[in-house]
């Protein structure tokens, strides 16, 4: 995607010894890039959410292994890098998917070949993610075209999305936002309701930043407003991303997604989930088994913003002395999901549906 006309990915190799990333904790107030020089840097970037979003977490973990292999390509170092990176965040399955792929690729090769192989494999994971998300965009565009066809000619299609499942959550294009970019580029009159997505505001800070940068009309709403807008007929469909889909079709995504799915069901609003196959956990039978990340209460008790003078500050917003609980994700049962939009096409949210697109899994 482009930032001020310059094409960007969210992660890129810098020679063979560093990895470039966009510091997403500074957005939307500042656009800053950073260079990761070690596996520990990559692990910190994932844990501190300098990079976030399931597909990008996977790509960053892959480059974390490559950085480790540059320093020490022994089996012990590979195991250590795997374990440190695997501990960063528990819910997004792309992290484990990428680590397994990297280790499977490297383990059967002599030490001397591992650094070069690791850089090549991490780059393949990143390139595949871009192509996968582009394909999700194509299949999702069809879903949006069908929805637009049900409206009066020229009438705006109103889509609601939660969190950030755009190019900032992937390497490029995005998952839930890719069809929206393609619909906009195809001239479909489209408008996006953007859930602010407390407590870290991925919607207000990242999704709005992305859509604004591409010229897509959008409106930021409080997370609790979506139900009313659906009841008022102001939402034609919802599209969200996901951090893990289990074999039966249950969906883990940013906290608040489940409540959106319930409101959509109650108001007959289609609720689509866009995902790459790297986000399907074929080994986990159902959603209630998914580990839910608990993050710092400070993310609830404090808020970061920009002052009129441009300074970025964090302030307390809660009653002094109160504490907070901060589960980062929830699980939407398959029964509330209208369908999955994947790189291989669209399917129902079920074991049978997933198998119809991924029969060999
Ligand atoms: O905590 P985050 O920002 O990593 O959560 C991100 C999400 O929940 C996204 O919707 C999901 O990872 C898909 S990103 C394409």
pLDDT in tens, 174-225: 999 999 999 999 999 999 999 999 999 999 999 999 999 999 999 999 999 9
Instruction: Specify the pLDDT at position 1.
Output: 81
Query: Whole-number mean pLDDT of the chain?
Result: 97
How many Cβ atoms sit within 10 Å of the Cβ of residue 80? 14
Asked whether the predicted pLDDT for residue 361 surpasses 80, the reply is no
Q: Is pLDDT larger for residue 6 or for residue 304? A: 304
- In the numeric block, which tokens belong to residue 250? 């249950």
How many Cβ atoms sit within 10 Å of the Cβ of residue 44? 15
In the reported structure, the alpha carbon of residue 80 is separated from the centroid of ligand 1 by a whole-number distance in angstroms of: 26
Instruction: Specify the pLDDT at position 354.
Output: 98
- In the numeric block, which tokens belong to residue 65? 């292994």
Is the CB of residue 39 less than 8 Å from the CB of residue 115? no
Asked whether the predicted pLDDT for residue 351 surpasses 80, the reply is yes
Ligand 1 neighbourhood includes 332 CB (under 6 angstroms):
no
Ligand 1 neighbourhood includes 163 CB (under 6 angstroms):
yes
Q: What is the mean pLDDT of residues 239-263?
A: 98
Q: What is the mean pLDDT of residues 144-170?
A: 97
Asked whether the predicted pLDDT for residue 35 surpasses 80, the reply is yes
DSSP assignment letter at 327: B
Residue 290: Cβ-neighbour burial (10 angstroms; 0-12, 13-18, 19+) = buried
Ligand 1 neighbourhood includes 260 CB (under 6 angstroms):
no
User: How far is Cα 56 from Cα 331, in angstroms, rounded to an integer?
Assistant: 21
User: Is 281 labeled as catalytic in the residue annotation?
Assistant: no
Question: Which residues share a beta bridge with 37?
Answer: none
Candidates 172, 107, 182, 112; CA nearest to 140 is 182
pLDDT in tens, 260-300: 999 999 999 999 999 999 999 999 999 999 999 999 999 99
Q: Up-side HSE of residue 316: CA atoms within 13 Å toward CB?
A: 7
Instruction: Specify the pLDDT at position 2.
Output: 84
Residue 155: Cβ-neighbour burial (10 angstroms; 0-12, 13-18, 19+) = exposed
In the reported structure, the alpha carbon of residue 244 is separated from the centroid of ligand 1 by a whole-number distance in angstroms of: 10
Instruction: Specify the pLDDT at position 280.
Output: 98
Ligand 1 neighbourhood includes 280 CB (under 6 angstroms):
no
User: How far is Cα 68 from Cα 36, in angstroms, rounded to an integer?
Assistant: 11
User: How far is Cα 143 from Cα 307, in angstroms, rounded to an integer?
Assistant: 41
In the reported structure, the alpha carbon of residue 92 is separated from the centroid of ligand 1 by a whole-number distance in angstroms of: 8
> pLDDT-based confidence at 159, cuts 50/70/90?
very high
Q: What is the mean pLDDT of residues 51-55?
A: 98
Instruction: Specify the pLDDT at position 235.
Output: 98
> pLDDT-based confidence at 360, cuts 50/70/90?
confident
Residue 4: Cβ-neighbour burial (10 angstroms; 0-12, 13-18, 19+) = exposed
- In the numeric block, which tokens belong to residue 122? 């991490």
**Strand order through the sheet with 345-347:** 218-221, 190-195, 157-161, 237-240, 271-274, 339-342, 345-347
Prediction pTM value = 0.98
Candidates 170, 161, 336, 340; CA nearest to 240 is 161
> pLDDT-based confidence at 87, cuts 50/70/90?
very high
Helix, coil or strand: residue 267: coil
Q: Which residues of 123-145 are buried (b: 16+ CB within 10 A; e: fewer)?
A: bebbebbbebbebbbebbbebbe
Ligand 1, atom 6, lies closest to the CA of 53
């Amino acid at each position: 995607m482009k930032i001020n006309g310059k094409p960007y990915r969210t992660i890129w190799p810098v020679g063979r010894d560093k990895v470039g990333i966009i510091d997403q904790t500074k957005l939307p107030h500042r656009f800053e890039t950073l260079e990761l020089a070690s596996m520990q840097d990559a692990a910190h970037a994932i844990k501190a959410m300098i990079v976030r979003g399931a597909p990008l977490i996977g790509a960053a973990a892959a480059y974390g292994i490559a950085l480790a292999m540059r320093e020490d390509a022994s089996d012990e170092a590979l195991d250590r890098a795997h374990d440190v990176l695997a501990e960063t965040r528990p819910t997004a399955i792309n992290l484990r998917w990428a680590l397994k792929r990297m280790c499977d690729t490297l383990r059967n090769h002599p030490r001397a070949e591992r650094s070069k192989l690791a850089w090549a494999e991490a780059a393949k994971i990143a390139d595949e993610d871009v192509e996968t998300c582009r394909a999700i965009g194509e299949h999702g565009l069809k879903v949006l075209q069908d929805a637009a066809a049900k409206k009066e000619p020229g009438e705006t299609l109103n889509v609601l999305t939660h969190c950030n499942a755009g190019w900032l959550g992937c390497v490029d294009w995005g998952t839930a936002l890719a069809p929206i970019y393609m619909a906009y580029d195809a001239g479909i009159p489209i408008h996006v309701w953007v859930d602010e997505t407390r407590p870290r505001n991925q919607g207000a800070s990242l999704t709005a930043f992305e859509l604004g940068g591409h010229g897509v009309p959008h409106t930021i709403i409080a997370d609790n407003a979506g139900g009313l807008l659906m009841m008022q007929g102001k939402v034609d469909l919802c599209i969200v991303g996901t951090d893990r889909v289990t074999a039966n079709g249950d969906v883990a995504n940013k906290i608040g997604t489940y409540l959106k799915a319930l409101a959509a069901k109650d108001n007959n609003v289609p609720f689509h989930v866009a995902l790459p196959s790297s986000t399907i956990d074929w080994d986990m039978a159902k959603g209630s088994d998914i580990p839910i990340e608990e993050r710092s209460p400070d993310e609830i008790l404090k808020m970061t913003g920009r002052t009129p003078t441009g300074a970025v500050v964090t302030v307390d917003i809660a009653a002094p002395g109160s504490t907070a609980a901060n589960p980062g994700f929830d699980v939407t049962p398959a029964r509330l999901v209208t369908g999955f939009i994947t790189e291989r096409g669209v399917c129902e949210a079920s074991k049978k549906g997933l198998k119809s697109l991924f029969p060999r899994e």
